[in-house]
Amino acid sequence: SDHNLTYPISPAHMDWSSYYPAFVTTPEENQAHPQSDTDVALGRVRQLKKDVEVADIGCGFGGLLVAMAPVLPDTLLLGMEIRTQVTEYVQERIKALRAQNPDTGVYQNIGCLRANAMKFLPNFFKKHQLSKIFFCFPDPHFKARKHKARIVSTTLNSEYAYVLRPGGIVYTITDVEDLHNWMVSHFDAHPSFERVSEDEQEADECVKIMRVETEEGKKVERNKGQKFVALFRRLEDPPW
39 vs 215, which CB is nearer to ligand SAM? 215
Q: Work out how close the CB of 114 gets to ligand SAM at its nearest, in angstroms, rounded to a whole number.
A: 8
Residue 58 in marked binding region: yes
Q: Work out how close the CB of 196 gets to ligand SAM at its nearest, in angstroms, rounded to a whole number.
A: 20
Q: Work out how close the CB of 205 gets to ligand SAM at its nearest, in angstroms, rounded to a whole number.
A: 17
Q: Work out how close the CB of 174 gets to ligand SAM at its nearest, in angstroms, rounded to a whole number.
A: 9
Residue 105 in marked binding region: no
Phi-psi region of 158 (alpha: psi -120 to 50; beta: other; left: phi over 0): alpha
53 vs 56, which CB is nearer to ligand SAM? 56
10 vs 84, which CB is nearer to ligand SAM? 84
Residues 6 or more apart whose Cβ sits within 8 Å of residue 240: none
60 vs 168, which CB is nearer to ligand SAM? 60
Cα-only R_g, the chain: 18
Residue 215 in marked binding region: yes
Of 156, 158, 165, 159, which is closest to residue 130 (Cα–Cα)? 165
Per the residue annotation, which of 39, 74, 103, 139 is the catalytic one?
139
Give DSSP secondary structure letters for 135-179. EES-----SGGGGGG-S--HHHHHHHHHHEEEEEEEEEEES-HHH
Q: Which chain residues interact with ligand SAM by CB under 6 A?
A: 58-60, 63, 80-83, 86, 116-118, 136-139, 151, 214-217
How far apart are alpha carbons 49 and 105 in whole angstroms? Answer: 15
Of 54, 171, 58, which is closest to residue 109 (Cα–Cα)? 54
- Indicate the DSSP class of residue 21: G
The one-letter amino acid at 208: K
How far apart are alpha carbons 204 and 55 in whole angstroms? Answer: 17
Q: Work out how close the CB of 159 gets to ligand SAM at its nearest, in angstroms, rounded to a whole number.
A: 12
Residue 155 in marked binding region: no
Residue 136 in marked binding region: yes
How far apart are alpha carbons 29 and 144 in whole angstroms? Answer: 53
The H-or-E segment that residue 104 falls in is: none
83 vs 127, which CB is nearer to ligand SAM? 83
Q: Is 188 a catalytic residue?
A: no
Residue 81 in marked binding region: yes
Active site residues: 139
Annotated binding-site residues for S-adenosyl-L-methionine read 58, 81-82, 116-117, 136, 214-216
